[in-house]
Amino acid sequence: MKFFLDTAELDEIRDLAATGLVDGVTTNPSLIAKSGRDFIDAVREICEVVDGPVSAEVTATDADSMIAEGRHLAAIAPNVTVKVPLTPDGLKACRRLADDGTMVNVTLCFSAAQALLAAKAGANFISPFVGRLDDIGADGMELIADIVDIYAAYPQFETEVLVASVRHVNHVIESAKLGADVATLPPQVLRQMFKHPLTDKGLAAFLADWEKTGQRILSEAPATHSLSHDAEPARRRA
């Protein structure tokens, strides 16, 4: 399963991308507004940090304007994925953008029927919102299971199931068990996946036992290389 980060906070993206666990990023107008960043600048900088798909959402509601916005966003970087809503106009835009060779993420999916339409429209990703379904008493995981089953029955569909509106670690685990391709996670959910009290307890015990030996693996702290030191030979060579 691939992990995308669902955020526009650049510091969070840089920090978690350094783990090697981040395969992409999803943003939306609400996340961009929360970050306080200029939309285009934020998308461009995220694309510089993350090599994988970076979803940037259109704000128009008619097909022609979505296509124009989508083409503008796709020109920011080759890894931009244009997000369009699951509406008739959104799927028209999806088809046109996909035909252009642009990656498209169809968002705000709440039914298997909608997911089937998105796949037929050529979407690279479908984003079913499991948390919002749970909020109204429905079963978000049931929707993931249905979409995975439908897509598996038609090998010609290349649309990946991108589980969105993830609220907790169990959403991630259940989605992985069902065979979803991607989960887009708020940073705090990805951080929670590292945690287990027995890990913390075991590490503390190991370190306490090691300290008693009085030994060190390295005799001195490793040297650090500053940018100024590394840059100096390059300037002299220039």
Chain center to CA of 34? 17
The catalytic position among 83, 92, 201, 212 is: 83
Task: Report the domain count for the chain.
Answer: 1
**Domain for residue 210, yes or no?**
no
pLDDT in the model for residue 233: 39
Say if CB 90 and CB 123 are below 8 A apart. Answer: no
Strands (DSSP E) along 99-219, which ranges?
103-109, 125-128, 160-163, 182-185
pLDDT in the model for residue 234: 39
**Domain for residue 200, yes or no?**
no
pLDDT in the model for residue 212: 94
120 is catalytic: no
**Domain for residue 220, yes or no?**
no
**Domain for residue 233, yes or no?**
no
pLDDT in the model for residue 29: 86
pLDDT in the model for residue 137: 97
pLDDT in the model for residue 223: 65
Q: Is the dihedral of CA 183, 35, 20, 54 positive or negative?
A: positive
Q: What is the mean pLDDT of each run of 10 residues along the chain (238 residues)?
A: 97 96 94 90 96 97 98 98 98 98 98 98 98 97 98 97 98 98 98 96 96 90 52 37
Cross-strand pairs, 228: none
Q: What's the domain range around 153?
A: 2-193
**Domain for residue 182, yes or no?**
yes
**Domain for residue 205, yes or no?**
no
**Helices (H) then strands (E): counts for the chain:** 12, 8
Q: How far apart are CA 93 and CA 210, in angstroms?
A: 61
Q: How many CA atoms lie within 13 A of 124 on its CB side?
A: 19
Q: Return the closest-CA partner of residue 79 out of 99, 54, 58, 101.
A: 54
**Domain for residue 238, yes or no?**
no
Q: Look up the CATH number of the domain holding residue 173.
A: 3.20.20.70
**Domain for residue 201, yes or no?**
no
Secondary structure in 3-state letters for 70-129: HHHHHCCCCCEEEEEECCHHHHHHHHHHHHCCCEEEEEEECCHHHHHHHHHCCCCEEEEE
Cross-strand pairs, 163: 183
**Residue 217 structure tokens:** 């693996």
